[in-house]
Chain A
Amino acid sequence: MPGQSVGVVESQRANFDQPLHLRSGGILPAYDLVFETYGTLNAAKSNAILVCHALSGHHHVAGIYADQPDNIGWWDNIIGPGRPLDTDKFFIVGLNNLGGCHGSTGPSSINPATGKPWGANFPIVAVNDWVHAQARLADRLGIDSWAAVMGGSLGGMQALRWSITYPERVRNAIVIAAAPKLSAQNIAFNDVARQAILTDPEFHGGNYYEFNTRPVRGLRLARMLGHITYLSDDQMGEKFGRELRNSAFSFGFDVEFEVESYLRYQGDKFAGYFDANTYLLMTKALDYFDPSREDNGNLNATMARSKANFLIASFTTDWRFTPARSKEIVSALLANGRNVSYAEIDLNFGHDSFLMEDAHYHGVVDAYLRNIKL
């Protein structure tokens, strides 16, 4: 792998005491955002890149913690000296979004009004709310305009939303494995995931914290379902095929096929640390995402408000947000004469491809970012 990791990093916390009015009508009177930064903000404050996370991501994007050398950031492979998000050139900011469960204010945080966890009372947050909260973090860091806002999947949607909400504050938007809005099938998958959580007897209407329990079974099922949609059929076939854990059928309902074992392991692992209310919020943010709604569904009109240059990338085996979905964004940008490049990357890892290290994929991001003038 060319380049190096950023090495040991530390997370920071910023408190915001001005109320945030949310898309849902709710108000967050005050909130915390946890974030990390890599590299150095230049004197002109022109070299900052915001990396937005997807459904289950957080602020620990790159590097390791001094006391947790195995806790590697979720997009470490693309960030660091000599890597595409080159910390010798750029100042990288990653944060945990509102509603998250990694330190920023979310359903598991204490609601100062009640002294108890927010739980079901935490307001529904939309992608645009995150963008507004991120803008306040940018203000705090003294960043008037981002050299780039970047993300994959739901993170890419935030980059897209940034370019529409704050056109003057985004010089480049890098939108990877995303879509301008979810399809019926996308929403359907999300709803099955939510139903798994909502119908778990341990959910307690979202206030499970007070009962010292967690809807682990529902969250586990939600993750298993989600995980299937992140992988490609080919990749699952190659990785697991019809391999059995034992050589013969056991004619029962215990784990038999390797793919079952894998999914259950992934589900257990995720359910062990992730917050179910956050999962519900993140999937709703996905479902509601549709910037063109402000223009009666006319995405061309919506993208007319953007001023950024764009790099759009999709993956051939991504059936969650297919290349055709990315091309809807490309088409709307072309219709407005925006600078846009589009790469359709042939990687076998389905939707999860955006997190993978691949010479061509990273080469494209690297080439695009190296041409950015600060």
Chain B
Amino acid sequence: MTHTLGRPDFELIAGWIEPGHRVLDLGCGDGTLLKHLIDQRGVKGVGVEIDDANVLAAIKNGINVIQGNLERGLDEFADQAFDHVVLSRTLQTVRHTEGILREMLRVGREAVVSFPNFAYWKNLRSVLDGRMPVSEDLPYQWYDSPNVRFFTLLDFEALCDKMGLIIRERSVLDEEGNPVTSEANFLGSLAVYRLTQNR
């Protein structure tokens, strides 16, 4: 999916990344986030992207982009080559969920993961009303959605626990991009996590 400037999770992610850090953006789209991080935070960045048009757009944006399929792992990247590995609104499109999370923490010190929360109350209401949810953070019809995994904040945290991943930080946003402080699994439309490996 293509990043759009001003997406609220971008601001959060940018805030977590220190100047000069090495950043890998998985599913980097046209490279907007990386360009923002390079221009504003002076990071050294590389993106991975599967889609031809996005690869071309990222090259136009002057971003280092490697065309590849996240399902096949990150073989071309060495262990701990990055400070941060970002997976923004893409985890739900990846079939090998555990595989990509492990690969992220193999090639990077820290994983930054954002994803839409399927338990967001509007999504639940939509399902109760008999229709699959379509929202700001889930902008697809069921028949054209790239999403293959449907999960909630609690589901994700249970998986992190099972995999021994440490949640360093979590931010949850509503559909307008405002922070959600209570009842996150119910009131949050989008979640952003910082994860590290349990060592």
Contact = CB atoms under 8 A, between A and B. Distances in A.
Q: Answer yes or no: are A and B bound together in one complex.
A: yes
Interface of A: 311, 327, 330-331, 334-335, 337, 339-346, 360, 363-364, 367-368, 370-371
Contacts of A367: 56, 59-60
6 contacts: A330-B66, A331-B77, A334-B66, A335-B78, A343-B55, A368-B59
B65 A341 contact: yes
B195 to A, nearest CB: 22
B44 A343 contact: no
**In the complex, which of the residues B46, B60, B66 has the most CB atoms of chain A within 10 Å of its own CB atom?**
B66
Contacts of A340: 46, 64, 66
Interface string B19-31: 0001000000000
A331 B75 contact: yes
Interface range on chain B (Cβ under 8 Å from partner): 20 to 34
A345 B46 CA distance: 19
Contacts, number: 56
Nearest to A368: B59
A171 to B, nearest CB: 14
Nearest to B60: A367
Return the 4 tightest CB-CB contacts between A and B, nearest first.
Answer: A331-B76, A367-B59, A367-B60, A344-B67
Contacts of B60: 367, 370-371
A343 B67 contact: yes
Contacts of A344: 67-68
A363 B58 CA distance: 12
Contacts of B22: 337
B65 A360 contact: no
Contacts of B78: 331, 334-335
Contacts of A330: 66, 76
Given A327-B75, A339-B64, 10 more contacts: A311-B59, A327-B76, A341-B55, A341-B58, A341-B59, A341-B65, A342-B66, A343-B59, A344-B68, A360-B56
A363 B56 contact: yes
B134 interface: no
